[in-house]
Chain A
Amino acid sequence: MSSDHRAPAVELIGITKRFPGVVANNDITFRVAPGTVHALVGENGAGKSTLVNTLYGMHQPDEGRIVIAGSEVTFRSPADAIGHGIGMVHQHFKLADNLTVLENVVAGAEPRRGWFLDRRAGAERIRELAARHHFDVDPDARVEALGVGARQRVEILKVLYRGARIVILDEPTAVLVPQEVDELLVGLRELASQGLTVIFISHKLDEVLRVADDVTVLRRGSTVGTVKATELSARDLATMMIGAELSAPDARIEVADAAPVLVVRDLSVAEAGRRSLDAVNLSIRPGEILGVAGVEGNGQSELIEAVMGIRPIASGSITLDRGGAGPGASAELTHLTTRARREMGIGYIPEDRSRQALLLDAPLWENRILGHQTIPPCAAGSRIDRVGARRDTQRIVDEFDVRTPNIDVTAGSLSGGNQQKLIVGREMSGAPRLVIAAHPTRGVDVGAQEAIWQLLRDAQRGGLAVLLVSADLDELVRLSTRLVVLLRGRITAEFDPDDVSLAELGAAMTGARGAA
């Protein structure tokens, strides 16, 4: 526990919060001293956002108490929390682009003269607040013209304008470039030195250690511990975050020394001035499973979508080797449509199956056609081959053990595991050369998970190349033949799954080793 003698500004005691099927927060207790910066760290799914949402009044805990400055409180809505001096800066900014900074900051708490908006008073107060906290802001600027760092400052101002003494920030550095991160961290320390209490969520341990006084680590819904930042190294933190020992990798399958199936060279994806992928190079040979580790939001989605042709790229090239000899074997994918890439033999298991891989209201056999609507067995020319599709759906259901009464039920009525098995079976049909699998066993029961892993391994034996992106380190270590780490859009490390340690992997994923 942090050793501070003043009464805590915020205490969360025994907080438990359940959602259908999962316990997001399990008996969480921690205290935040006033005038400090307190970081809340943990992996995706650890329960951090749920916890702060409780603190901000967005929902009520099932068990436990919240104590603010010594008195117990119940928040029925964010308005209550705001009334107690708590303000939240969300990860996804809630700012109206077309309105000015002033308008965004004061809306809902407008300074008035009768019915009229007192813009001058508002602007004065904003400038005063900004000066006090060494922010730089123009109340009449339109938010749209502001860069991300400036917008975040506006969000913070919104919170300060309403008299917040406790400021919560959810993953504030996720969208910032390095200088903006520096500015923000300085700003946070500034807030603390003025007596405000700052709580922020992050998984970027190097930043956390630069600015926080105390750190609370969450894992799988429970607190692992609260420590003073000075007492800890990043590696220790990473270990606390990620937890259990890595499982032993499965028996290694020999990888043929053939030409790579997929070659990605200097791939960059840019969005709103920020490079979400920065000159990424990778190659995958037949029979190889390349695992991409990394905390969510570091470029994984961009990488996958760029290879599939769903996301435009800023520069770089993508090449696919279709096998066989002679010219035309190696195809440059960079300019091809998604459909053409699929027809060349790429299977795709997207990360969000209900939104990207399935038509939930359509029967299973129609979902079999999805992604393969121009090739046999689902199609013959421009005609859909229903008989072929139905037959093949039945085959998938039988071979891949998809539990369903028949192939006419809607995809939405299957359980997650069975949906995923169907998708995997579908994407493996037609002997693809490359399969891109994003979180292939997310939300899937253990039995189905084992089954899917076995499917991937079997296909691997047949020479399939797999690009595997996953947040499940177990999965990565057990399946991959090679492991790389994606951090801030760059490949920053490569490991052999056979002898990587959790500490190393965690450190690389969270940037704890320092320079990217």
Chain B
Amino acid sequence: MNAVTRLLRLSAAPALALAFSMAVTAVVLAVSGHPPLGTLRSMVEYAGRRNTQVLIVNSAMSYYIAAVAVAVCFRMRLLNIGIDGQYRLGALAAATVGGYLALPAPIHLVLIVGAAMLAGAAWALIAAVLKVRRGVSEIISTIMLNYIATGIVAYLLQPGRLAEVVPGSNNIGTPEIPPSVRIPGISIPGATQPILGLGVIAIVVGVAYWYVVNRTTYGFDLRATGSSRDAALASGVNVRRMIITTMLVSGATAGLIGLPLLLGRTYTYSLDFPAGVAFTGIAIALLGRNHPIGIAAAALLFGFLDNANQILALNGIPKEIINITQGTIVISVVVSYEFVRRRATRAEQRMVGRSAPALAASVS
């Protein structure tokens, strides 16, 4: 199968899914009395504005990191829904190290990033150990750990513990991070807000993801385990060790999600720090087929949907229509993968059947 066929095959399912979701969204809009095409047009127009584009890019960067965190696990057929908790604990740890320590900037920055990754990884480790040693499904355990993380963060984020009242408001947050470690944004001419400077972390994460998965022994083991557990075992992969390592990597990555916002705009972890990205991350990873570029495209799409819909309220269209679109995308993506996959398998089986003297052994 050459490269073009492969590309077509890979993008068939997502394309089908997108088309289907757009159709469903259009139907819902039409039934509610709103013009589907007009809605799309106003969203696209709105996305043409520089400000919106900056917002889209900023959102997409966080989504990208979240999706990569999920994708690493997906490659091995693990499902890490816990990136919510890992992300928030990572951000809180980073904000704490940032706000409470005073060190020369380079070291400080390294420590901040390190704290974020460490916190996220440690949180993921709990689920990994539970799975490897007690056989607890990582799905339930990570969901539970998300809620527990919420409790822990709520507990720590109180005056007298890790946080203090932000002067002049009702907000409570960690002490502000000193200017020496704040990352300046990238100004875009024509936009009032900058692109978050540390968003380049997303690029680093993407490159690292691509490199580790495709160019290292660990990455090979990862893909082999996801592709065929038996072949991986026979080739020497230690599956239990892989589970732990992969969850650690995933958790560390998830810990990074909040850093661009933390070091680029808010400078503190406070009550209104954005909450859940887990499901969006999963949706994007699914849509992007765990591929570094696919995920980027999907992240931008979701960023577009999430931000361009602000214009809809002005036209009297509930902006939550986007959530329907997103939800439909996810469902139709997974259904269409399965569909495409089965057809491909059946085709290949027919091919093998045609050329097989081989089946004698399996028929007895």
Contact = CB atoms under 8 A, between A and B. Distances in A.
B235 A370 contact: yes
A19 B234 contact: no
A386 interface: yes
B357 A445 contact: yes
B228 A443 contact: no
Contacts of B156: none
Contacts of B214: 384
From A21, A338, A348, A357, name the one whose CB has the most chain B CB atoms within 10 angstroms. Answer: A21
A438 B359 CA distance: 17
Kindly state the interface size class of chain B when it binds its partner. Answer: 20 to 34
A474 to B, nearest CB: 14
B231 A355 contact: yes
Contacts of A19: 359, 363
Among B217, B221, B227, B359, the most chain A Cβ lie within 10 Å of the Cβ of: B217
B220 A383 contact: no
Interface in B220-234: 220-221, 223-224, 227-228, 230-231, 233-234
Contact of A355 (B216, B230, B238, B360): B230
Interface residues of A, number: 56
Interface string A332-343: 000001111111
A404 to B, nearest CB: 13
Given A355-B230, A357-B231, A382-B217, A45 B363 contact: yes
B218 A49 contact: no
Interface string B321-364: 00000000000000000000000000010010111111111011
Given A369-B220, A415-B355, A416-B356, A44 B361 contact: yes
B1 interface: yes
Contacts of A355: 228, 230-231
Contact of A383 (B216, B230, B361): B216
Nearest to A46: B364
B236 A382 contact: no
B22 interface: no
B224 A359 contact: yes
B237 interface: yes
A45 B1 contact: no
Interface string B194-236: 0000000000000000000011111111011001101101111
A432 to B, nearest CB: 14
Given A46-B364, A359-B228, A21 B1 contact: no
Contacts of A49: 363-364
Contacts of B228: 355-356, 358-360
Interface in A234-260: none
A353 B227 CA distance: 14
A124 interface: no
B1 A362 contact: no
B1 A413 contact: yes
Nearest to A372: B235
A384 B221 CA distance: 11
B231 A370 contact: yes
A490 interface: no
Contacts of A371: 234-236
A362 B357 CA distance: 23
A373 B220 contact: yes
Contact of A361 (B227, B236, B358): B227
A48 B364 CA distance: 6
A140 B1 CA distance: 56
Interface in B237-254: 237-238
B188 to A, nearest CB: 38
A283 interface: no
B364 A337 contact: no
A21 B355 contact: yes
A273 interface: no
Contacts of B223: 359, 362
Contacts of B230: 352, 355-356
Contact of A362 (B227, B355, B358): B227
A50 interface: yes
Given A48-B364, A382-B218, A383-B215, A357 B234 contact: yes
Contact of A310 (B217, B234, B360): B234
Contacts of B224: 359, 370, 373
A471 B215 CA distance: 39
Contacts of A45: 360-361, 363-364
A326 interface: no
A379 interface: yes
Given A44-B364, A45-B360, A386-B215, A339 B236 contact: yes
B358 A416 contact: yes
Given A382-B218, A384-B217, A356 B234 contact: yes
Given A384-B217, A415-B355, A24 B363 contact: yes
By CB atoms of chain A within 10 A, which of B217, B220, B224, B358 has the most?
Answer: B358
A147 to B, nearest CB: 25
Contacts of A357: 231, 234
B212 to A, nearest CB: 10
A371 B221 CA distance: 10
Contact of B358 (A21, A339, A373, A386): A21
A419 to B, nearest CB: 10
A412 interface: yes
Contacts of A337: 236, 238
Interface in A344-383: 348, 350, 352, 355-362, 366, 369-374, 379, 382-383
11 contacts: A19-B363, A20-B354, A22-B360, A45-B361, A47-B364, A49-B363, A338-B238, A348-B234, A361-B227, A384-B214, A384-B215
